[in-house]
Structure 1
Amino acid sequence: MEIISRVCLGLVVFILFSQVILNVAAVINEEQELDRITSLPGQPPVKFSQFSGYVTVDEQQGRALFYWLTEATSNSVTKPLVLWLNGGPGCSSVAYGASEEIGPFRVNKTASSLYLNKNSWNKDANILFLESPAGVGFSYSNTSSNLLDSGDNRTAQDALVFLVNWMSRFPQYKYREFYISGESYAGHYVPQLAEKIYDYNKATSRPSINLKGFIVGNAVTDNYYDNIGTISYWWTHSMISDATYKLIMKTCDFKADKSSEQCDKAVSYALDYEFGDIDPYSIYTPFCKPNNNSVGSVRLKNTLLRRRVSGYDPCTENYAEIYYNRPDVQRALHANSTGIPYKWTACSDVLIRNWNDSATSMIPTYKKLIAGGLRIWVFSGDTDSVVPVTATRFALSHMNLTVQTRWYPWYTGGQVGGWTEVYEGLTFVTVRGAGHEVPLFEPKRALLMFRNFLGGKLLPSKS
């Protein structure tokens, strides 16, 4: 009888425990379902699932970050999770990454509907777009001073908290292969978040974030080498005169915390009188003529040589502003549910002007993460003059990495797609003919690069 009683007791405990598990799963599924996007206004039919909404990262100050997950077009349960971050600091991953670059949809000219991007990165991975930090896009803070004191450190910490909390809501992605990607000032965001996760994983007995590596493009990396490389690009691409080049090199101390009045005047002269009416984010393509309503006006004068603004300024940015300010679109995205007291914009000028802390160099972080065994790729569109290929090459050359595979041209469609060199712990890739937003200008080449990154494969040579 005693044995039977023990068996019965064990069975009861098992049933109760199973019921608790089922209840927890039901709550989790309910949370996910609340975030499910059934369809966006004007969206073509798709077979993959989408979710969007808010994740609180600071209860006390009321900071919440907005995300948009587009699951893989096939076999989503077996494919990795990739987080995409745009830079600025202060620019939206919904505006750029999702709507112009790697997302599944593009906004049409009238902002009345969406059409499919044939080279979307969710063909190969589940893509998670995050508007970060609070104050960018739909992400918000109930503490208004947060918009005036944002910086690198809090942005990285909030992004880590977001991921931990988001994976509690989406436990199917816990322990999934995870990568981080982005561009421009995300040259800070991406490695800084990778370092936060790396340290978090080391301090956690069973870490839930299975970070494998990151890929970042036209990345702000090191203030000194970036600035030297940028001025060199301007001069070698005939954008400025010999006299202005010499004057900038003479008057600008790129190692100083602040630029001198003489340096500012020299740079302003180059931008105002020598550049001409070109798009500095893509120097060989036509630019969208700015108008009074343009949200993407190029903010070079206040940001070059200190901070770089993420975001190409084609007219598609204007279409995105109209679309994402539509109430029906916001309802479909579960966005702006708290009534943010400002309209959605591609970039936040308030955050850009008031950025609080910014690392002078990411080189030490790269070295730490290379030693930690992460897969790291750095790519560069070669027609960008804001964070140009020369800037990236100067910075990388001072990491003193050992070459594994020497510089060679890589091919796609029988044409040179760019050039690449593989070092111990890092792969560098140029994308031929691409501007600041590489997947916007060269979507096929960008997708091939992304696939090879995920697969840990060399880019194809002609042979």
Structure 2
Amino acid sequence: MISDEIGLTIMNDCDFEDYVFPSPHNVTQSCNQAISEANGIVGDYINNYDVILDVCYPSIVEQELRLKKMATKMSVGVDVCMTIERRFYFNLPEVQKALHANRTNLPYNWSMCSRVLNYSENDGNINMLPLLKRIIQNHIPVWVFSGDQDSVVPLLGSRTLVRELAHDLKFKITVPYGTWFHKGQVCMHSNYFIHPFSYQCLYLM
């Protein structure tokens, strides 16, 4: 998706050991420049949640929805405009009334991610593994979902972290990472870890 030159610059100039979410991310200027160029190339033409799908163009689909036309755009069996359609649908007054929602007539539209809550970018630097470890140690099974073609939560990152967590907890692999079939069809890929004595569980899907 990006050129070899930009990819090599990111690999050579970016030290992600100390990377932080707030800009300038605690990395060099050349690293920031390369990441910015990569985002510019990928941004408008790639669906980050499934890199092989087509993208949806909001201005076109919103016009179609206002005209009450069929807006569905299928790509590899997926409606890539679902996010736009959902936002349009849940902001219709009749839908909100039927759901008993927005009864106080809020001055802004419903959206998947709220800007009302003041999230801190620094929260993205928090290591979640100790929390997951405590949850598992309290005999609560943990199921980690990760997309095979997802650049937001990349599969290799999830597999690495789950394996580290399983190793730290002295879990044994009961089902090696592989394909999970249902009625002859590939459903997903999975990995299953379990503690040999306490039966604490950790799944990766």
What is the TM-score of this pair, normalised by structure 2? Answer: 0.72
Query: Which residues of 2 match residues 309-320 of structure 1 at below 5 A?
Result: 314-320=80-86
CA distance in 1, matches of 2:97, 2:149: 38
Which residue in the other structure is 2:19 paired with? 256
Residues 240 and 270 in structure 1, CA contact (< 8 A), matched pair in contact too: yes
The equivalent of 1:280 in structure 2 is 48
Which amino acid in the other structure matches residue 106 of structure 2?
A: I
Letter of the 2:154 counterpart: P
Q: Measured at CA, do residues 324 and 249 of structure 1 come closer, stay the same or move farther in structure 2, by a change above 3 Å?
A: same
Tell me if 1:346 matches 2:122.
Answer: no
Percent sequence identity over matched residues?
34
Aligned to 1:270: 38
Change in CA separation of 1:348 and 1:292 when aligned onto 2, cut-off 3 Å: farther
**One-letter code of the match for 2:182?**
T
The structure with the larger Rg is 1
Q: Contact 1:287 / 1:313 at 8 angstroms: preserved in 2?
A: no
- Between the aligned partners of 1:263 and 1:349, the Cα distance in structure 2 is 29
Q: Which runs of 4+ in 1 moved over 4 A?
A: none
C-alpha contact 1:282 1:384 (8 A) present in aligned 2:
yes
The answer on whether the counterparts of 1:241 and 1:274 sit within 8 Å (CA) in structure 2 is: no
Q: Spell out the pairing of 1:329-344 with structure 2 (5 A cutoff).
A: 329-344=95-110
Q: Deviations over 1:162-206 (max 9, x none)?
A: xxxxxxxxxxxxxxxxxxxxxxxxxxxxxxxxxxxxxxxxxxxxx
Distance, in Å, in 2 between the alignment partners of 1:392 and 1:330 is 37
Structure 1 residue 419: Cα displacement: 2.3
Q: Is 2:53–2:80's contact at 8 Å kept on the other side of the alignment? A: no
- Map residues 17-56 of structure 1 onto 2, 5 A cutoff: none
Match in the other structure for 1:326: 92
- DSSP-derived class of the 1:291 partner: helix
Residues 17-48 of structure 1, C-alpha deviations (whole Å, 9 max, x = no match): xxxxxxxxxxxxxxxxxxxxxxxxxxxxxxxx
Instruction: Report the CA distance between 1:414 and its aligned residue.
Output: 0.8
Q: Distance in 1 between matches of 2:58 and 2:79?
A: 9
In structure 2, relative to structure 1, the CA distance for the partners of 1:379 and 1:345 (3 Å cut) is closer
Structure-2 residue corresponding to 1:289? 57
Match of 2:180 among 402, 410, 430: 410
| Structure 1 gaps, min length 5 | 1-238, 295-311, 430-463
Instruction: Kindly state the Cα deviation for residue 274 of structure 1 after the two structures are TM-superposed.
Output: 5.5
> Any idea what SS the aligned residue of 2:5 has?
helix
Alignment of 1:12-411 (within 5 A): 239-254=1-16, 255-257=18-20, 258-260=25-27, 261-273=29-41, 277-291=45-59, 314-349=80-115, 351=117, 354-356=118-120, 358=123, 360-399=126-165, 400=167, 401-411=171-181
Distance 1:407 1:321, change over 3 A: closer
When the two structures are aligned, how many residues end up with a matched partner? 172
Taking only aligned residues, the RMSD between alpha carbons, in angstroms, comes to: 2.7
**TM value normalised by structure 1:** 0.34
